[in-house]
Each structure stands twice: as C-alpha cells, then as structure tokens.
Structure 1
Amino acid sequence: MTTQHPKTALITGANKGIGFEVARQLAKRGFAVFVGSRDMAKGRAAAQTLCDAGYEATFIQLDVTDPVSIRQAAGTFSQKADHLDVLINNAAILEDHGETIVKLNPELLDRALTTNVKGAIMVTQDFLPFLEKSPNRDQIGTRIINVSSGAGALGEMQTYAPAYSVSKTALNAVTRQFAGALPGVAVNSVCPGWVRTDMGGKGASRSVEQGAETIVWLATDAPATETGKFWRDRKEIAW
C-alpha cells in the first residue's frame, strides 16, 4: 500500500539514538517516516514504537555497506511511496579505540570509510529518483542531510579518532559534491554535537532531542536555498 502522506522522509540508522529521534520529530511534523535499519528486529521495533504513538512509520531493512541491500531497500520503498522529500544519511560507526593515526589499523579505516562515506553515496544515488519525483520540490524543496561531526572539521581536528574523523571529513566533501551536482536539492552536512547515545556515551553533554534539532530544522524549516554548507545549532560552521 502506498502512503497517502504528502511528505516522506527516509532516515538511515534510525532504529536508535539520533536517527530514531529524528524520525520521531519528523513524524510529529506530519511526515511518513521510513526507518532504515540493518538490524531487522530493532528496526521493526523502532517503527512499531512510532506507530503505537500514532505516527506513520515503516521499517525498511537497509545495510548501507551492502549495494544489494540498498537496491532492495529502494525496491521496497517504491512499493510503499511514490516519492521522497527528505533523505537523512545518519548511519555511521565509530570503532577507534584511542589510537592515533600513527597506529591506525587500515582495516578499521576501510570500515569507517565504507559505512560513513561510501554508504551515504550509494544510498543517495539509489534514492535520488524518488527525490526527483517529489511534488514538493518547487515549493519547499527536497533535502539531503548528511549527519557529520565536528571531528571532521579540519580547523578543529587534532588526533581524536582518526578513522572516524577522516571519514567525516570525507562525508563533508560528499555533501559539497552532491550540492554541486544537484542544483534543485538542498544538500547539507550537520554536526549534532556530543550526544548521549551508544556512540557518544552517557557522559555526553547533549540529549538526543538536542542532537536531532538542527537535522530536523534542515529537513523542514531551513530555507531550501541553503545548500552545500556545514551546520551546528542552526548556524553555519567552518569545514
């Protein structure tokens, strides 16, 4: 059955943390949300939680490291919706364990780049046809948001988590490339800050609600003319 909602959003890695909170806030704003998750049980549970709260949410199994999984997810999406308004590339890993780049394991770097960079590229490529079909494109614009990190900002970078940091710098480059290639789409990177999630840890300074705020703003209220930029707390920051 195809959703009748006029606004649709797909969030990768949406079974928990910032991704789930973004899905919840967008659903509250009237979006039909598609919960992308590699883990079937967790993804279904997350979507069901939103449905139980009265929102329209659909689970889509999506492993951003697997081209076949992404293509299958796009096929599943095509059976549920005829267009996409907002794509949020949120799925990411942080596997660094305190080592500097001097001791960085190349395999760890490969995994970070595959998930955090290549995954965002492949998902965007495969879901772009649905963004191009958005009936809202001329009014409020279609939007792609890449969830990055201040760890990837060159001006702030030191030795923290080299694989993760390098991957987020590369993701920012992906944002610039897509922004240049897609003049009709608002493509932006966002730093959610240090958020209390499985990745950020219990000692982080921000709640998931705070971490999701600027992402949701870019997906909804930010001017559609704002593209190719890096944001934190609704303000542009340096690359």
Structure 2
Amino acid sequence: MARIFITGSSDGLGLLAAKALVSQGHQVVLHARNEERAKSAMNDVPGAENVLIGDLSSMEETKRLAEQVNKSGPFHAIIHNAGIINSQGNTKSSDGLPRIFAVNTIAPYILTAMIKRPERLIYLSSSMHRQGEASKDRLESILEGKNFPSYSDTKLHDLILALAVARKWPEVSSNAVDPGWVPTKMGGRSAPDDLEKGFLTQIWLAVGQDKEATISGRYLHHQKEMNCHPQAKDEGIQEKLLSVCEQLTGIPFPHR
C-alpha cells in the first residue's frame, strides 16, 4: 500500500480522493488551512493517518507545512490539489502577492522544492489553462507587481511546473490533471461534468500499477493525455517560471 499526501483535502476533490484512497487501504495524510477545517477533515475521512495544517496563501506557513511533511516521513505520492478561484483570490496575501497566485502557483512551487521527492507528483490544472498567459514578459510583470494573474494564468503555471519537474527529475513521475468542471464548492452546483471522474485520474496517477499510470510529463483528463497550451512545453518559459518563484520565495529549485 502507498502513502499519499493531498493538499486542500478538507473538502472538494481533495476530500473525495482521500476517502477513495483510504477505502483502498492506502495511508493518507490530509491537509487543511486551519484547525477548524482540520478537525472537519479528520471526521470526514475515517482512517486517515493524520492532518497537517498550513495556510497556503502565506509563504511562511507553506514552508512550515513542507517541514511538517518531511518530518512525518516519506511519501509515495503527493497530490497538489489545493487551489482557489478568482472570486476567492482577488486580494493580496500577507506577503503582498495576489492571493490567487500565492495559493495556486507559489505554494505548489514551495512544497515541490522543499519536500523530499516522492515517486509521483500530481498537479491539478484546468481546461481553463488554455486561456492563460505565461510569456516571459507576463511572468516578469507579475514578479514586478505590475500584473494580477488570472485563474487561467495560475492553472497554466501549475501545468508548466508539472512539466518542468518531469524534465528535471526523470526519476519522478510528474503529471498535471484537468479534473473537469465538476459540482464542488469551487465548481458550483450547476457544473456539468462527472464528480467521480473528477478525482479518479489523480488516484490512478498516485497509486496505479499499470505502465500508463507511471509515464511522466503529461497533461491528462479522465486518464487520457490531452493537448495543452504550447507555452507549457516551452523550456525557456519553464525556466522563467522557476526563476520568478525562486526570486519571490528565496527557495532555489533543486535540479538534482
């Protein structure tokens, strides 16, 4: 059985993935942004090993969360599930960054760079990443505080990060997932896609034993590889995103 850490697992797709993995006999460590949500998550996922707490809109709390993950022992897989949408993120974080950028882009970068490498990494992107923009100039303008990233921009960042990790860490299986527009708190009740299919790909990539589940460097929707924004595969843009994240966080990306 595998040991998996899932960010943003106190509700939505993260919670559903956690429940499914526990029901299969896997060891799951949950994550919540505060004590109240942590208690709720443990109640909602009987059999979960533990819950770690950290507000991903704060770089310091995210760094402490990474330290907690490392202290809790090695993981087979990490699912970077946590994310917010524009209506939740049109404010500044405690670090002065756009909150949507802090949670959706900077937090997964910090956790990826600081946590001991698992065998598998899964990042949640979105079909909306295709409306995003991540040119070098655009990334530089975010660094300079001249631009407010959209949700689509940050979901493109998550895909870029997943593909950069796949390129730089060949020993790790790193992929990004479009879960679809599903009826969660984030997606809304009227979302048309299948809720169960929304988390099955993450589970498959985390613990699946067939060869397809371990291939790295892909963007998937319902276990099938999909075409993605061409900027995601541009190595120069990948390097620029890593550089921007390093400058903002003070954490270099470990190349080897």
TM-score normalised by the chain length of structure 2: 0.73
Structure 2: which amino acid aligns with 1:38? R
Query: Which of 46, 51, 54 is equivalent to 1:59?
Result: 51
SS in 1 for 2:176: strand
Give the RMSD, CA atoms, in angstroms.
2.4
1:88 aligns with 2:79: yes
Correspondence list, 1:1-239, <5 A: 7-51=2-46, 55-80=47-72, 82-96=73-87, 110-127=98-115, 129=116, 131=118, 142-153=119-130, 163-221=150-208, 223=211, 225-239=214-228
Q: How far apart, in 2, do the equivalents of 1:184 and 1:79 lie?
A: 22
SS in 2 for 1:202: coil
SS in 1 for 2:4: strand
What's the CA shift string for 1:165-211, capped at 9, x where partnerless?
11111111111111111111110000000111111000012343221
CA distance change for structure 1 residues 50 and 148 in 2, over 3 Å: closer, same or farther? Answer: same
Structure 2: which amino acid aligns with 1:88? I
Q: How far apart, in 1, do the equivalents of 2:123 and 2:70 lie?
A: 22
Q: How far apart, in 2, do the equivalents of 1:185 and 1:26 lie?
A: 20
CA contact (8 A) 2:32 2:41 kept: no
Structure 2: which amino acid aligns with 1:83? P
Gaps of 5+ in 1: 1-5, 98-104, 132-141, 156-161
Structure 2: which amino acid aligns with 1:203? S
What's the CA shift string for 1:120-154, capped at 9, x where partnerless?
11111121x152xxxxxxxxxx1100011000035
TM-score normalised by the chain length of structure 1: 0.78
CA distance change for structure 1 residues 50 and 106 in 2, over 3 Å: closer, same or farther? Answer: closer
What's the CA shift string for 1:31-67, capped at 9, x where partnerless?
211111113211221123222xxx2331100222323
CA distance change for structure 1 residues 46 and 207 in 2, over 3 Å: closer, same or farther? Answer: farther
- Give the % identical residues: 27
SS in 2 for 1:197: coil
Gaps of 5+ in 2: 133-148, 229-256
